Structure 1
Amino acid sequence: MKASPHRHTTAEVDLVAIKNNIKKFKKYLGPKPQIWGVVKANAYGHGAVAVSQAIEKEVEGFCVSNLDEALELRENLVTKPVLILSGIVPETVNLALQHDITLTVPSLAWIKLVVAQDIDLTKLKVHVAVDSGMGRIGVREVEEANAIIDTLDRFGITFEGIFTHFATADEADEEKFKLQQERFSAFLNSLRRKPRYVHSTNTASALWHTHQVQDIERLGISMYGLNPSGKTLPLPFELEPALSLKTELTHVKQVQSGETLGYGATYETSESTWIGTVSLGYADGWTRAMQGFHVLVDGKYCEIVGRVSMDQMMIKLDQAYPLGTVVTLIGRDGVAEISATDVADWRGTINYEVLCLISDRVVRIYKQ
């Protein structure tokens, strides 16, 4: 999708806020763990290249979801270690080798496909994934992990790390978390040998389970200033949200009582009403579920009326405003504020999804 720099809608990303959040985590966790910034999914919608370039001196490495995300960083001169957190297509391992990208081994079957290729793997670095209860990828039995280690040694591949991922670290009930923790600990104790890096903590684990932090802290959503639990658990320290989403009024009109608005005629005015139109819709990631929520205009909450269209939506104004008046969807206007978590609560989802759905059509503007 092509970015639209000549449109009225922009996402401003405060790179200083992201750096400040990293510094707060370093102070909170102490000097032991390395901080690896998670910049998958275009840095949670913030822009992977710009964010990675800005914070490269603040972190020891980066985590991404797939090979193309890793290659994007290398193509833009990011030189710190990059770990892909899922298995890649085995036939593309040569690209990872060429660009010094660290891979995840999700299973013995996967590594067998890799070593079956006729290429020199002696410079390849890998981390083995352990499924302690998340259920996505990773080995479940230590015998499989030890067989993987044997295979790595036989082909000269560097066994650099081993990790797991917690499913409920951001929830108040700790029963599942403790079960996964015990499984991973027992797994490590039975491992033939341990690698340089043992890591299991995502952002939520680091915030509320600091005793679990090991060699690497994989810092994700809170690097961008948001609470991974939404509003379930209080943060131990204040974070700075990095992204604000704004647009402008492109059309203002007065509509008489009894008029319907939008597709499906789902909204009807009960009195003479000022209606504003803005250039933002579900193709930008502002889903149809946002009808009935609000935006900020002149520091006031204004309801979204009618169904959100692909490219535009309408809001109910308290008065006539000039074209070009700023409309805030995420961020602060005066003393009023709308957070990505507020949006997520309305949609019945999480703040991660809200940010990741902001499409590439919305231009990112970076505040240094």
Structure 2
Amino acid sequence: MTAEERAQIVVDLAAIRHNVARLREVAGVPVMVVVKADAYGHGMVPAARAAREAGATWLGVASLDEAVALRAAGDEGRLLAWLVVPGEDWAPAIAADVDVTAYDLDHLEAVAEAVAVTGRPARLQLKVDTGLSRGGARREEWAALVAAARAGEVAGTWRVTGIWSHLACSDEPEHPANARQEAAFREALAVADDAGLRPEVRHLANSAGALLLPSTRFDLVRCGLAAYGLDPAPGRLPAGVDLRPAMTVRARLALVKPIAAGDAVSYGHTWTAAAPTVVGLLPVGYAEGVPRAAGNRAEVTVAGRRAPVRGVVCMDQLVVDLGPEAAEHAGEDAVLIGPAPAPTAQEWAGWCDTISYEIVTRLGGRFARRHVDSAPASGTAEPTEPTTEPTTEMTTEPASVPTAVGEGGR
């Protein structure tokens, strides 16, 4: 039996194209689709191609390695990377025509050294910290950074192509931090303008900002989660924004057996059957990224019916309650995340006291990942309505747990 037959993540590329097209319509400005962290668990290269087909003029990644991997896979469009550590080699990304991000003067020095190695000017973006207190230059350092960036531009070392920041509370549009951050960003842009910088793009909005905060859209919006069909601000999406989840997660029942009243399930005996029932064993667990916190909280769907998870989620397996009248057999499918009536990633987030970003991004391990296309693209044309069962099968790859989870697309 193959890994695909045992447990798989199925990603519909038509859904990604649909979502990117809708985001472009709503935002009214160019869209950067963020494909960091293996496209939030959806597969970086296929997701990037689908995003480009839908008209994404930019892609965004966290690490330089991710950017270089996209170039190696054939992507030639505008591409931004933003997260480095001291001593990291910037040269391959600069040689591959990637826009890189500087937070401070040390970054500028590293970029200049890489430019000397590659023999070609860099495309450089500057990030200012407007209140997230994470990556980016502090406002006290901003004037010196833009002055040095302008000097490097005059010297021909780089071209400053963008200035950007990142919102902390855009999923709460009424939060006062949003207005404060926007004001700080506008102030930073004015300082850069006074220094003589004329960037191609100014960008602040992430997925929630793009959908809920029109004044933060500027020249470009960075959309991560929304591109994969998940709601970045649950319950707050504007009417008519039709996002389609691209991911379905399923596993086959490895075993079905009856248990008696009083029988306890899994480590620690945290659940005991109050009456006779039938349980099913699924061959996935926290090694595949299924949260251990889902024990006794989450549900899956078997034969179109919800089946609750019973007991602790183990490393390789979990147990679900099929009910006393269950007729299912080993080998039948269970859907962990998928179209109704299956649970959504947001439901899993609620059960596990987290966010849907973490649910989809952490899934990997021994899941096989299969890309399908329910509406094969023709150029950049709008895809037709996808069916529940995707029609065009594409490549299968082992899923992996990504390592670069960070900034720009939340």
Aligned position for 1:195:
199
How do 1:82-93 residues align onto structure 2 when only pairs under 5 Å count? 82-87=79-84, 89=86, 91-93=88-90
Contact conserved, 1:121 with 1:157, CA < 8 A, in 2? Answer: no
1:303 aligns with 2:308: yes
TM-score scaled by length of structure 1? 0.93
Q: Name the stretch that deviates more: 111-120 or 92-101.
A: 111-120
SS at match of 1:119: helix
TM-score scaled by length of structure 2? 0.84
The C-alpha deviation readout for 1:21-41, integer Å capped at 9, x for no partner, is: 1111222222xx221110000
For 2:27, give the aligned amino acid: L
Aligned position for 2:347:
342
Q: Distance in 2 between matches of 1:121 and 1:105?
A: 19
Aligned position for 2:128:
130
Contact conserved, 1:87 with 1:105, CA < 8 A, in 2? Answer: no
Q: Distance in 2 between matches of 1:360 and 1:214?
A: 39
SS at match of 1:286: coil
Unaligned runs of 5+ in 2: 374-410
For 1:164, give the aligned amino acid: S
For 2:111, give the aligned amino acid: V
Alignment RMSD, CA only? 1.7
The C-alpha deviation readout for 1:62-101, integer Å capped at 9, x for no partner, is: 1001011111111111111211022355551111122111
Aligned position for 1:270:
274
How far did residue 116 of structure 1 move?
Answer: 4.8
For 1:74, give the aligned amino acid: R
How do 1:51-70 residues align onto structure 2 when only pairs under 5 Å count? 51-57=47-53, 58-70=55-67
Aligned position for 1:322:
329
SS at match of 1:85: strand
Aligned position for 2:105:
108
For 2:148, give the aligned amino acid: I
Aligned position for 1:42:
38
SS at match of 2:181: helix
Aligned position for 1:74:
71
SS at match of 2:111: helix
Match of 1:13 among 11, 14, 24: 11
Contact conserved, 2:300 with 2:342, CA < 8 A, in 1? Answer: no
Aligned position for 2:150:
150
How do 1:104-253 residues align onto structure 2 when only pairs under 5 Å count? 104-116=101-113, 118-120=116-118, 122-141=120-139, 142-153=142-153, 154=155, 156-191=157-192, 192=195, 193-231=197-235, 233-236=236-239, 237-253=241-257
The C-alpha deviation readout for 1:198-235, integer Å capped at 9, x for no partner, is: 1111111110011221211111111111111233x234
Q: Distance in 2 between matches of 1:116 and 1:172?
A: 41
Q: Distance in 2 between matches of 1:209 and 1:281?
A: 38
SS at match of 1:338: coil
Aligned position for 1:312:
317
Q: Distance in 1 between matches of 2:80 and 2:223?
A: 13
Q: Which stretches of structure 1, 4 residues or longer, exceed 3 Å deviation after superposition?
A: 87-91
Unaligned runs of 5+ in 1: none
Q: Distance in 1 between matches of 2:4 and 2:21?
A: 35
Q: Structure 1 residues 337, 12: CA separation in 2 closer, same or farther (over 3 Å shift)?
A: same
Q: Structure 1 residues 325, 172: CA separation in 2 closer, same or farther (over 3 Å shift)?
A: same
Q: Name the stretch that deviates more: 45-54 or 187-196.
A: 187-196
Q: Distance in 2 between matches of 1:29 and 1:115?
A: 35
How far did residue 257 of structure 1 move?
Answer: 1.6
Query: Aligned pair count?
Result: 360
The C-alpha deviation readout for 1:246-271, integer Å capped at 9, x for no partner, is: 11111011111211211112221122
Aligned position for 1:366:
371
Contact conserved, 1:70 with 1:84, CA < 8 A, in 2? Answer: yes
Contact conserved, 1:122 with 1:155, CA < 8 A, in 2? Answer: no
Q: Structure 1 residues 345, 103: CA separation in 2 closer, same or farther (over 3 Å shift)?
A: same
For 1:324, give the aligned amino acid: G
SS at match of 2:143: helix
How far did residue 122 of structure 1 move?
Answer: 3.9
Q: Distance in 2 between matches of 1:88 and 1:123?
A: 21
SS at match of 1:24: helix
SS at match of 1:92: coil
Q: Distance in 2 between matches of 1:116 and 1:279?
A: 50
SS at match of 1:65: strand
Q: Distance in 1 between matches of 2:187 and 2:4?
A: 56
Q: Distance in 2 between matches of 1:150 and 1:303?
A: 59
The C-alpha deviation readout for 1:300-336, integer Å capped at 9, x for no partner, is: 111111111111111111213122221111013xx52
Q: Structure 1 residues 27, 115: CA separation in 2 closer, same or farther (over 3 Å shift)?
A: closer
